[in-house]
């Protein structure tokens, strides 16, 4: 199944390749005050998001303008009280970003600093929570797209909830693509974005929260435009109306993307497609002589990091450019102590696309041909 209406496939962790029907949904203008938009589109999205996230009662959702990081900042800046303290589990660029947000907002915090290829140590987390009673909130990234690693959310959530702390989960690159029930996990605030596994386009993020916890956040926000509580309160009272200008075209595209997720068979079916893509990719890349950065046990079905070839004439920019000429866009590496690159397989990407990619990579291995 080839996405032939695009000039190339985006093999990245988002923005990602969308279907033509999602893109076509943006061809109509919408009024931000009209019930056709707020009640019939925004409110339906909010309900569907909660249904995707959990079978438990007591959850709600709120949409926020901006990038996924804006929704992370809205959450961190709204839910932690002035006398609160945040524990950040950081093993990649996006854990680091949560730390930066806490620093910018002058939120007291402690960071568990790990390498990008290191999983959290559960005993260490437990000891920290037991030793520091000032910690009120814990934040972690589920899928660290720095490497493609999946962090152990079940075990970490169990620890956090057993100590009666508030759990904040950045599920930016996993929600909609990996089955999970945040009610069963005990997650209090989960954050994701329109342009990830639900396969919409960039423009807004969203937070799915325990209603009882969100209701306690009135007046805590450290920003006007990123006040998560006020945005939620406005949507609750006005049939989905946003406080400030809504990204209407992006929202309508997301609505279409949610319908297509249902048509595909839901999150479980999408997970199986992504997983099949990733396994096919790894098998094919290894047959071409590439090595994965992480062991298979730590892989996610979202994005995979590969060591760069060691040939002296290898150049990522040249590799990238040649692959782009074949219709594929990949990602540079983001690991501090390893020379690598990344290939994502989420979005409107299928097994046939991975086969075509592998053929293109085989044709593009200029560094190998130069030594023959």
Lowest mean pLDDT among 145-149, 158-162, 189-193, 284-288: 145-149
Cα–Cα distance for residue pair 156/153, rounded to 1 Å:
5
All residues at 6 or more sequence positions from 268 whose CB lies less than 8 Å from its CB, including other chains:
179
Residues making up the chain, counted from first to last: 372
Report helix, strand or coil for 365.
coil
Cα–Cα distance for residue pair 71/139, rounded to 1 Å:
14
- What would the mean pLDDT of 281-298 be, rounded to a whole number? 96
Write phi, then psi, for 303 (nearest 5 degrees): -155, 150
- What would the mean pLDDT of 66-92 be, rounded to a whole number? 97
Contact of 208 with 94, CB cutoff 8 Å: no
- What would the mean pLDDT of 80-104 be, rounded to a whole number? 97
Does position 148 have pLDDT exceeding 70, yes or no?
A: yes
Q: Which of 189, 234, 236 is nearest to 80 (CA)?
A: 189
The pLDDT of residue 1: 45
Lowest mean pLDDT among 3-12, 143-152, 202-211: 3-12
Task: Provide the β-strand partners of residue 325.
Answer: none
Instruction: With 0.85 as the threshold, say if the pTM is over it.
Output: yes
- Higher pLDDT: 4 or 84? It is 84
pLDDT band at 7 (very low <50, low <70, confident <90, very high): confident
- What would the mean pLDDT of 218-232 be, rounded to a whole number? 98
Does position 371 have pLDDT exceeding 60, yes or no?
A: no
- What would the mean pLDDT of 155-184 be, rounded to a whole number? 98
């Amino acid at each position: 199944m080839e996405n032939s209406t695009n000039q190339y496939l985006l093999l990245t962790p988002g923005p990602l390749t969308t279907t033509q029907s999602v893109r076509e949904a943006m061809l109509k203008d919408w009024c931000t005050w009209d019930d056709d938009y707020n009640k019939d589109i925004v409110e339906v999205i909010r309900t569907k998001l909660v249904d995707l996230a959990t079978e438990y009662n007591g959850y709600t959702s709120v949409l926020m303008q901006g990038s996924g990081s804006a929704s992370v900042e809205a959450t961190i800046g709204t839910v932690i009280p002035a006398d609160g303290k945040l524990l950040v589990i950081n093993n990649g660029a996006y854990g680091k970003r949560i730390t930066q947000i806490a620093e910018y907002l002058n939120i007291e915090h402690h960071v568990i600093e790990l390498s990008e290829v290191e999983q959290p140590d559960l005993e260490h987390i437990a000891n920290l929570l037991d030793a520091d009673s000032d910690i009120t909130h814990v934040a972690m990234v589920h899928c660290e797209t720095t490497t493609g690693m999946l962090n152990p959310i079940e075990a970490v959530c169990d620890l956090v909830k057993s100590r009666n702390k508030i759990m904040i989960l950045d599920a930016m690159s996993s929600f909609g693509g990996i089955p999970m029930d945040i009610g069963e996990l005990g997650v209090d605030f989960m954050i994701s974005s329109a342009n990830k596994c639900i396969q919409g386009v960039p423009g807004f993020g969203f937070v799915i929260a325990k209603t009882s916890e969100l209701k306690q956040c009135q007046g805590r926000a450290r920003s006007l435009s990123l006040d998560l509580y006020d945005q939620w309160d406005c949507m609750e009272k006005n049939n989905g109306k946003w406080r400030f200008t809504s990204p209407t075209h992006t929202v309508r595209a997301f609505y279409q993307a949610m319908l297509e997720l249902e048509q595909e068979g839901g999150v479980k079916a999408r997970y199986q497609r992504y997983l099949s893509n990733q396994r096919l990719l790894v098998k094919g890349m290894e047959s071409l002589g590439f090595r994965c950065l992480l062991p298979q046990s730590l892989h996610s079905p979202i994005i995979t990091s590969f060591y760069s070839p060691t040939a002296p004439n290898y150049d990522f920019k040249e590799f990238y450019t040649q692959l782009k000429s074949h219709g594929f866009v990949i990602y540079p590496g983001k690991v501090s102590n390893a020379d690598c690159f990344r290939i994502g397989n989420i979005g409107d990407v299928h097994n046939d696309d991975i086969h075509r990619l592998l053929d293109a990579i085989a044709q593009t291995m200029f560094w190998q041909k130069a030594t023959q």
